[in-house]
Amino acid sequence: MEIALVVCRNPKNGKWLAINDAKGQGWGFIAGLVDPPENFFDAGLREAKEEAGIDIEIKGILRFEYNEREPNVSTHKMIMYAEPKDPDQELKQEADNNSGKPLEETEEARWLSIDELLKLKYGKPGWRGNGLYDWIRYIEKGGQIYPTSLFVPEGTPVKEEKSSSN
């Protein structure tokens, strides 16, 4: 199983994108399964549109995680950093409803400061886990954001670049 997770910051106001999951799991970041033939980046773009109603640009990779739960069963997660293509684009204003069917994606999406996010932690529905908060703190403290060129299709030619250590 492959999962794309996206931490998104609005460069215009410095706020972070949080989504309230439609399945009652609470506030967190954009996340979803990679649907073949998608790659992690394509899945992140699609999930941002589905869950928050916005178009984003993947700016970098925060981490690639794996979990081998049992023989022949593993999970791979790519956590990416993104920004909206248009910082003024409106977030999804209404919950998914699909004509009376159960909600599929999110109740709502909001741009939040860290203080605003912290206020949601103990309310209902609360947080979907500490992941979003942890990654926001990591980025704001100058944590490494790796280039997207780190993740390429097999067989991609290696580009020779000048090293700053020469």
What is the CATH number for 7?
A: 3.90.79.10
Please compute the mean of the pLDDT values over residues 135-152 and round it to a whole number.
95
Q: Is the pLDDT of residue 35 over 80?
A: yes
Domain that holds residue 143: 2-150
Residue 33 lies in a domain: yes
pLDDT for the residue numbered 102: 44
Mean pLDDT estimate for the chain: 88
Please compute the mean of the pLDDT values over residues 32-49 and round it to a whole number.
96
Residue 96 CA to residue 79 CA, distance in Å, equals: 25
Residue 160 lies in a domain: no
Residue 118 CA to residue 127 CA, distance in Å, equals: 9
Residue 100 lies in a domain: yes
Residue 158 lies in a domain: no
Residue 114 lies in a domain: yes
Overall domain count for the chain: 1
Residue 118 lies in a domain: yes
pLDDT for the residue numbered 105: 72
Please compute the mean of the pLDDT values over residues 129-138 and round it to a whole number.
92
pLDDT tens, 51-108? 999 999 999 999 999 998 778 888 999 999 999 999 999 998 776 555 444 446 788 8
- Percent of the chain clearing pLDDT 90 (strictly above): 63
Please compute the mean of the pLDDT values over residues 110-139 and round it to a whole number.
91
Q: Is the pLDDT of residue 153 over 80?
A: yes
Residue 162 lies in a domain: no
User: Burial code of 65-101, b = ≥16 C-beta within 10 A, e = fewer?
Assistant: eeeeeeeeeeeebbbbbbbbeeeeeebbeeeeeeeee
Please compute the mean of the pLDDT values over residues 123-146 and round it to a whole number.
92
Place of tokens 């159960």: 102
The pTM (predicted TM-score) of the whole model is 0.87
Residue 163 lies in a domain: no
